Structure 1
């Protein structure tokens, strides 16, 4: 997996927007102004949201992911060389979690998914 493929997967999510809010080469993907995936400047991992801190702990414990620094315990960092289907699944899941958590008035203005 590469950073380019992660960006391609993120860009494919309806209404996804790219930004580099901290400067220096971060790839931060947002929906409705809220982050659903971020790759740091080192470009070795992509951080994504999970549905709970417990699931994140399980993914970390089983070696699927690592702790995502600077983010809530419900976020994990997946290595960019993870299985392609795992990366795609986790990115889509993070997107959906963040999107469905947006206020209804924001959701109404987004493209369907």
Structure 2
């Protein structure tokens, strides 16, 4: 699966409970409970995926070539991963899923239940 391809990106994120896709900020944005957890952006400089991560992952990821602080999101521990980054497809899938989990954790228990999100461990 190549999440840098919109078809694979859409398929993967919509398989997660409660996800909607919108076109916003010149990007393809995935939200859970109306909160952004990742976005796919295609621009003149290439394709990138922005996502939320833990503080520890933020430090590790931003030390790698092709990954930096996401514009407008960086203060909240968001990274921008370019298609040149040294991550495997499985690693990218892991980080997108983890971003979903981090954002879903911030939703109310009632909303998580309404969206069909399995109780988080």
TM-score bracket, shorter-length normalisation: 0.7 to 0.9
- 2:32 aligned residue: 31
**In 2, Cα distance between equivalents of 1:90 and 1:103:** 22
More strand by share: 2
- 2:49 aligned residue: 46
**In 2, Cα distance between equivalents of 1:105 and 1:85:** 31
1:35 CA drift (Å) = 0.4
**In 2, Cα distance between equivalents of 1:39 and 1:80:** 11
- 2:23 aligned residue: 20
**In 2, Cα distance between equivalents of 1:41 and 1:61:** 23
Q: Does 1:85 align with 2:90?
A: yes
In the TM superposition, structure 1's runs of 4+ consecutive aligned residues that sit over 4 Å from their partners are none
Aligned length: 110
Task: Check conservation: 2:38, 2:49, Cα contact below 8 A.
Answer: yes
Alignment of 1:71-110 (within 5 A): 71-73=73-75, 74-80=77-83, 82-110=87-115
Task: Check conservation: 1:9, 1:91, Cα contact below 8 A.
Answer: no
Aligned residues: CA RMSD: 2.0
- TM-score normalised over the length of structure 1: 0.83
Task: Check conservation: 2:18, 2:116, Cα contact below 8 A.
Answer: yes
Q: Please, which moves more after superposition, 69-78 or 54-63?
A: 54-63
Task: Check conservation: 1:40, 1:46, Cα contact below 8 A.
Answer: yes
